[in-house]
Chains A and B, each alone.
Chain A
């Protein structure tokens, strides 16, 4: 009965490095979302998967950001050549079907780029 699990919970990296953030959704949930939350802001949409495919990646800020979900379950958000402005909490959520079914959020990964 586990919820959405995100690892690591905290990540500190140097500017210019590559990072991967992992999300394990609730078992059986076909829809998976990535959001980014900066200090004092609401979550900002990044990308949405339905199954293995990215149904909407309109929120990815630039081509340094990429996400995959190869088997329709676990997803990885990848950030290349990190910048200090990438520092934020990255939230993952899943829902049973997408559409109007509620989103279940993980506790997030706090990324700090030094």
Chain B
């Protein structure tokens, strides 16, 4: 079965600094991978998805993620953090017709 592991339940960065949120996957077949963001008291919003077309995937709000098969990773990055990026971020992998989510990483951005 597919699964994802998010390393680091909390990440803190200064405004303007690089954001790096880690996700490693386990899959016996080529995976379909996703990053979602959740703002307080809201549902999850899709940031980006990898479906094997290109290894570097660009998403909304300046985020991107790179699929690295050799490292079984799909880390999320943003060159320069904004205060508005503070939220919970979830990596997910598709398994049959459902998404399996990681435990999430809470991003804090300090001025």
List residues of A whose CB falls within 8 A of some B CB. 4, 31, 33, 35, 40-45, 48, 50, 55-56, 59, 91, 93, 98-100, 102-108
Contacts and interface: CB of A to CB of B under 8 A. Distances in A.
B7 to A, nearest CB: 14
Contact of B90 (A42, A59, A93, A99): A42
Interface size class of B (residues with CB under 8 A): 20 to 34
7 contacts: A33-B98, A33-B99, A42-B101, A50-B97, A103-B46, A105-B45, A107-B41
Interface string B1-15: 000000001000000
B22 interface: no
Judged by DSSP, the binding face of B is: strand
Contacts of B82: none
Contacts of A44: 101
Given A4-B43, A42-B104, A43-B44, A103 B97 contact: no
Given A42-B90, A42-B102, A102-B49, A108 B97 contact: no
A78 B94 CA distance: 26
B51 interface: yes
Given A41-B103, A100-B51, A105-B43, A55 B97 contact: yes
